[in-house]
Amino acid sequence: MATMDLTNEVVRLRAELEKVSAERDMLLCEVSNLRRELELSELKQLQDDGIANEQVATWGFRQSACAPK
């Protein structure tokens, strides 16, 4: 009788492990996707900052070129 209980417990625990493992895999994929999205966002921000800095530098150059001497 105790052997049957242990066998049932092992089967139940294996099923639970499969379920938890599948959930873990899904969460790892989600984390990976979020990291990629964050990296793309950061790259876009760097690109936008670079363009903005370039425009400010150009604007500053034009201002100094137009300033009276």
CA distance 22 to 9: 20
CA 1 to chain centre: 51
Q: How many domains does the chain have?
A: 1
Residue 18, both tokens: 């499969």
Determine the structural domain holding residue 57 and report its residue range: 1-69
User: What does the pLDDT read at residue 68?
Assistant: 52
- pLDDT tens for 39-63 read 999 999 988 888 777 766 666 655 5
